[in-house]
Amino acid sequence: MNAESGTNAKTMSMIVTKGSLDWAYPPFILATTAAAMGLEVTMFFTFYGLSLLKKKLNLQVTTLGNPAMEMPMMGMHMTMPNLVSAVPGVDAAATMMMKNLIKKKGVASIEELREMAVEADVKMIACQMTMDLFEYKIEDMIEGPSLGGAATYIEEATKSDINLFI
Amino acid sequence: MADQVLDVKGLNCPLPILRAKKTLKDMDMGATLEVIATDPGAVKDFEAFCRTTGNELVESEAGDGQYRFVIKRAS
């Protein structure tokens, strides 16, 4: 029995710490899918993850520090050496390639997944400390998330069947 | 013949599951939904979805690069 809702639903919580296009996928895919499977989901957005709650998203990928990054190209895979990230325009080009692939392969956009998470009543908590730290304003954020801190997350986590850090 | 048909051809994980769930929610208990997908991952995912949610996977078949599932709403 779920203590808070009085239902038998399983629960999942996750801490979302990263705000790049590639890292935005796992939390939103898992949150929407878990909600579709009847779980009650809480997402805690902190540090760079908090930027995923901004109304206007402009997510990027970088080749920097990402030696496993390969892009399919003309039937082969092109690796992206770390160093090329320093060349102006390379990360923008990599981002555009990734977005084109996403569209071509029928993968949902982050905006789409986020909207579905909100529709599915996924509980979103924006980290108050990060809001202060990076000087975000509540009016820059989508409607729905509440504000909270570490203790708010821990309370959720102690009641959750699954806890993830992404 | 299923009561309703959902075409999720060309869509990738997790969209087939999310669309199916959204459609099932508005259907009557006991009604059947036929899902047509092209995502090979959907085979295992619909099995897991049905086991977890308590809906019944009545049929699951593959052929011609397409996957067909029939789900009976039971939860």
Beta carbons of A37 and B15 less than 8 Å apart: no
Residues in contact with A119: Cβ distance below 8 Å, sequence separation at least 6, in sequence order: none
* pLDDT at A87 (0 to 100): 87
Other CB atoms within 10 Å distance of the CB of residue A91 = 19
Cα of A33 to nearest chain B Cα, Å: 7
- Tell me the mean pLDDT in the region B14-42: 96
Query: Residue A3 above 60 pLDDT?
Result: no
Fold of A11-165: Hypothetical Protein Ychn; Chain: A, (3.40.1260)
- Tell me the mean pLDDT in the region A60-86: 84
Quick check: A32 contacting B, CB < 8 Å?
yes
Rounded (10°) CA dihedral A89, A93, A99, A102: -150
Strands A123-127 and A40-45: parallel
Residues in contact with A77: Cβ distance below 8 Å, sequence separation at least 6, in sequence order: A70, A71
What is the C-alpha to C-alpha distance for residues A85 and A91, in angstroms, rounded to an integer? 6
Can B13 be counted among the known catalytic residues? yes
Which DSSP symbol is given to A18?
-
Q: Which of B17, B18, B47 has the highest number of chain A CBs within 10 A, making it the mutation to test binding with A?
A: B18
* pLDDT at A1 (0 to 100): 45
Query: Residue A141 above 60 pLDDT?
Result: yes
pLDDT band at A83 (very low <50, low <70, confident <90, very high): confident
Rounded (10°) CA dihedral A148, A53, A29, B11: 160
- Tell me the mean pLDDT in the region A84-93: 86
Cis (ω within 30 of 0) for the bond into A81?
no
Question: How high is the mean pLDDT of chain A?
Answer: 91
Beta carbons of A106 and B10 less than 8 Å apart: yes
Query: Residue A6 above 80 pLDDT?
Result: no
pLDDT digits 0-9 by tens, B44-57: 999 999 999 999 99
Burial A16-47 (b: 16+ CB within 10 A, else e): bbbbbbbbbbebbbbbbbbbbbbbbbbbbbbb
* pLDDT at A119 (0 to 100): 93
Residue-range domain boundaries for chain A? 11-165
pLDDT band at A74 (very low <50, low <70, confident <90, very high): confident
Which DSSP symbol is given to A54?
B
Are A39 and A8 spatial neighbours (Cβ–Cβ below 8 Å)? no
Query: Residue A62 above 60 pLDDT?
Result: yes
* pLDDT at A7 (0 to 100): 63
Q: At what angle do helices B42-53 and B15-25 cross, to 10 degrees?
A: 40
Query: Among residues 62-91 of chain A, which lie with CB inside 8 Å of chain B?
Result: none
| Domains detected in chain B | 4-72 (3.30.110.40)
* pLDDT at A31 (0 to 100): 98
Share of chain A above pLDDT 70, in %: 95
ipTM over 0.95: no
| Residues of A with Cβ-Cβ distance to B75 under 8 angstroms | 38
Residue A71's H or E segment, with its range, is strand A70-73
Query: Residue A132 above 50 pLDDT?
Result: yes
Beta carbons of A36 and B10 less than 8 Å apart: no
pTM: 0.89
Lowest mean pLDDT of A24-33, A85-94, A118-127, B65-74, name the range: A85-94
Are B16 and B48 spatial neighbours (Cβ–Cβ below 8 Å)? no
Higher per-residue confidence, A98 vs A83: A98
Residue A70: beta bridge partners? A79
